[in-house]
Amino acid sequence: MGWLWRSAHGSADDLDPALRDFLNKQAPTGPKPPLPSAPKEEPAATPAAAQAEPASPAVPPQSQFPDGRYAHLWKNYTPQNILDDRGKNEQDKLRDLVEAYNDRKAGIGRIAMENCAVEYMEQFECFRNPKTWKATATLCNAESRVFNRCYDMQSKFLKALGYLTMDERAPEEDERIQMHADKLYQQMLQQEAAIEQAEKEGRERPKFESVLSRQNLARTMAATASQPNPYPSPQDENDVWSKIKPESRKAYEEKLAELPVEQQEVERMAVLGELKAQTGITKKVEEAFVEERLQRMRRREAGRATIGDQIKYWWGWG
């Protein structure tokens, strides 16, 4: 390898002329592309200027350079979901609403299964290899009962926390709702264990507030400032129940009164969360129908009515 260096006494960085010529021939030619430079820091604005011009991001969150580089390329950027919506007709939008609501309902079951993974595995192991004669004789009834109760209660907590609602949420928000539902379930199990222990020891039964009470939800969700409190105000609750037939509400209240006191608040909040979700999807569908009717009227006025528009006009749909 002596050909790499001119002499043994020379500097270690002094390459042989033949090697230097070879590297120069292989090196790329032409001007080097300049690297993007960070925007110059502007002087701090005065309080008056700060109030006059509210701070706004120079680039959308899709950019990998939040400091403002390449801002001119993002000037006319439109998110892909908005572009997709522009190409959809009224029927496509209605179908999307129904599919989104059905996905939410399916998500309730999927998340409840994730939160009850331990209980499910205990049931599965019992079915595969029962450890006692009692488990074999009862077909793992005890393990199945524990898992079914976990699944049912987790589903109710998710509904009560507003998972079914059609509000725009980031995936992180859905994960927080899942975490809070499991936290409430574990808290409920701790309360039940304390009550059972007190009854065994002959002590007075301890009293706990409902895990879905306003105060308990505030403590449970205190770590997540961005998550709104799902507990409805009396006005919101009255608005939801006002859309339910009086006879249906009366039948529900009679059925609710038959449950134990500690379960009534959980059941009530779960039903209320489901009703809120149904009210929200109904409102969105009504808005979609109104928008569809306005589009039909505009096409008729412009002389571009379709056969479907004409049939709906004959049927009195506007």
Helix/strand/coil for 217: helix
pLDDT, position 7: 46
pLDDT, position 310: 67
pLDDT, position 49: 45
pLDDT, position 12: 46
pTM of the model: 0.67
Token pair in block for residue 107: 């998500």
Please report the DSSP string for 55-81 in residue order: ---SS-TT-S-TTSTTGGGGTT---HH
CA 40 to chain centroid: 38
In sequence order, the 6+-apart residues with CB closer than 8 A to the CB of 312 are 296, 318
**Residues 105, 164: contact at Cβ < 8 Å?**
yes
Beta strands in the chain (DSSP E): none
CA distance 54 to 240: 37
Q: What share of the chain is helix, strand, coil (3-state, %, to 5)?
A: 65, 0, 35
**Residues 237, 184: contact at Cβ < 8 Å?**
no
- List per-residue pLDDT tens for the chain, 318 residues long: 444 444 444 444 556 777 677 667 666 665 655 655 655 655 555 554 445 544 555 777 777 787 878 888 887 787 777 777 766 777 787 888 888 889 999 999 999 999 999 999 999 999 999 988 988 999 899 999 999 999 999 999 999 998 988 887 888 888 999 999 999 999 999 999 999 999 999 999 888 888 888 787 777 666 554 555 666 666 677 777 777 888 888 888 888 888 887 788 888 888 888 888 888 888 888 887 777 778 778 877 788 777 776 666 676 665
**Residues 256, 268: contact at Cβ < 8 Å?**
yes
CA distance 160 to 212: 8
Structural domain boundaries of the chain? 89-301
